[in-house]
Structure 1
Amino acid sequence: MTVSPALAVPPAPPAEAAAFFAGRLAFFTDVADVHASLAGDPGFVLVDTRGPAAWDQGHVPGAVHLPTAQLPADLDPAVPVVTYCWGPGCDGATRGALALARAGFRVKEMRGGIEYWIREGFPVESAAGPLHRPADPLTAPCAC
């Protein structure tokens, strides 16, 4: 019997898989969930950890600009934080989240960063004013 390459390493037992996936969701959120949360009182502070030039180029409306070297700044440790940076090819949000966690904050990372925020067609603010690009048909709408 031929084993599927996808199952060459068998799936974990259900209880282990549930713990693993719940753990991932405790550390990460996605741009669609952040966008939906920002429509009301999100219950968290969204922190852009990129440098000034990147912030001016475009950032999530309502985000706070705190490059990683400035964290935790004057953030309230009682309020959870969601960090983001450029995108999946950048560890800036992870470094920011680590700095915040070490300072005693509850923190998550927004997977995909500003890149996927823009790719999903969500608006950004820039030094020149609001920007809105159409969604990339390969990434949106996910609706998952």
Structure 2
Amino acid sequence: MNDILFNIPKRNNKNEKSHEKLQIDFYEQKLNFEIDPADLHEALKNNKNVIVIDARSAQSFTQEHIPGAINIPHRTMNTETTRHLDKTALVVTYCDGIGCNASTKGALNMVKLGFTVKELIGGIAWWKADGFTTEGNAEPVQSKIGCDC
């Protein structure tokens, strides 16, 4: 197992540039498709053209969501349910957290519908962990992170 984890190509003059370029390309691509809670909060605070979509169930959204978010469960994303959205805006999808893939499914659906999309790293769980507020009907409770999509 350690061989897999630490199988990092040795650098030499011949492959150093290509190895560095691979790493740069990887991390640039990662940043193109993900956003963290602090960057999303900053974008919302500065009134950037961002649409935040909670890709979980309507029940979960009603209980708690990121302020300003709209709810379009990933299973219902289609031309009709997204017709009213600005295609020039950046769409950010989120779900419960790292144990849930509704935001990934939602991001894929929205890209297929012609939107520019980023996925919120850590979902609403990391949004709250970073100290940002939420809205909804839920009483604050300590619970495990789960997928409620």
TM-score range with shorter-chain normalisation?
0.7 to 0.9
Partner of 1:75, secondary structure, is coil
Distance 1:15 1:116 in 2: 30
Residue 71 of structure 1 corresponds to 77
CA distance in 2, matches of 1:89, 1:37: 25
DSSP 3-state at the match of 2:35? strand
Task: Output the amino acid matched with 1:25.
Answer: L
Query: Mind listing any 5+ residue stretches in structure 2 that lack a counterpart?
Result: 11-17, 143-149
Q: Which amino acid aligns with 1:62?
A: G
Give the Å deviation of 1:88. 0.6
Q: Superposition RMSD on alpha carbons, in Å?
A: 2.4
Cα offset for 1:101? 0.7
Determine which structure has the larger helix proportion and give its number: 2
TM-score by length of 1: 0.79
2:34 pairs with one of 13, 17, 28: 28
- In structure 2, what is the Cα distance between the partners aligned to 1:67 and 1:89? 17
Higher Cα Rg, which structure: 2
Q: 2:105 aligns with which of 95, 101, 120?
A: 95
1:107 to 117, 122, 137: 117
Percent of aligned pairs sharing the same letter: 34
Q: Which moved more, 1:12-21 or 1:94-103?
A: 12-21
**Offset of residue 38 of structure 1:** 1.1
What does the per-residue CA deviation read over 1:23-71, in whole Å, with 9 as the maximum and x for residues that have no partner?
0111111111111111121221011111122112211001111111232
Query: If the length of structure 2 is used for normalisation, what is the TM-score?
Result: 0.77
The answer to whether residue 134 in structure 2 is matched with residue 124 in structure 1 is: yes
Gaps of 5+ in 1: 134-144
Hey, what's the Cα distance between the residues in 2 that align with 1:75 and 1:127? 25
The answer as to 2:80 corresponding to 1:81 is no
The whole-number CA distance in structure 2 between the counterparts of 1:124 and 1:21 is: 30
Distance 2:138 2:118 in 1: 29
> What is the number of residues matched between the two proteins?
129
Whether 2:23 is the aligned partner of 1:17: answer: yes
Match of 1:46 in 2: 52
